[in-house]
Amino acid sequence: MVSKVEILLTEHIVNLKIKEAFVKLKKLILLKGYSIIKEDSPSNLTFEQGSIWGISPRTAKKIVTFDLQELTSDTSITFSSKLAPKWKNLTVGGYAASLFLAFLSLWITLDLENSILAENHSFWSWIATYANTINFTALQSFSNLSKLLFFFIILVLLVESVIVIYSYFKINIIAEETLNQFG
């Protein structure tokens, strides 16, 4: 079975023997400061680039693999890139925490608004209660604040989703730049 990543491989032909191409590619990767995590000379070179805190295709932590194949007098170099598991785990964890906070804010908002309408104590009305008396003006302020927080978190999640999708589809940018500098 062919995976989606394998279908998207890009080929670059260089006018060098495979060993020369491998050495030149490795030197270029090391000069850029990328961390080589696996090498199978002269046919495969894998490196990590980016940060788990990166938010663009250029800065997101990724794993790039170059496969070299000897042709008659040239070398074919193909590459694939994927987001690093650490980056994906941090992103998923961030989504989970954000969703938890968003729904907690929504729950607080709905509970406080019901308390205001019923003019009675609720689970979260203690926020604006003093001497067993509810300050409904303060309760309304807390309700508005938690509603604002809910919408802000949802907006941040939508922006983060766009960033993740963009990063996923442009993840090959570093590999392409490396091969373009290869010559």
Please give the pLDDT value at position 9: 59
With 0-12 / 13-18 / 19 or more C-beta atoms within 10 angstroms meaning exposed / middle / buried, residue 52 is middle
The CATH number, out of the four listed (3.40.50.720, 3.40.50.2300, 3.20.20.140, 3.30.310.220), of the domain defined by the range 4-86+172-182? 3.30.310.220
Count of CB atoms within 10 A of residue 183's CB? 10
Please give the pLDDT value at position 183: 66
pTM, rounded to two decimals: 0.75
Query: What are the pLDDT digits (tens) for 111-165?
Result: 999 999 988 888 988 888 888 888 889 999 999 999 999 999 999 999 999 999 9
Do 111 and 121 touch, CB atoms closer than 8 A? no
Comparing 10 with 84, the larger pLDDT belongs to 84
Query: What are the pLDDT digits (tens) for 58-112?
Result: 999 999 999 999 988 889 999 999 999 999 999 999 999 999 999 999 999 999 9
**Domain parsing of the chain, residue ranges:** 4-86+172-182, 88-166
pLDDT higher than threshold 50 for residue 1: no
End-to-end CA distance of the chain: 33
CA dist 55 to 93, 155, 175, 183, Å?
A: 15, 16, 17, 29
Q: At which residue do the structure tokens 């696996």 appear?
A: 38
Range ranked top by mean pLDDT from 50-54, 106-110, 171-175: 106-110
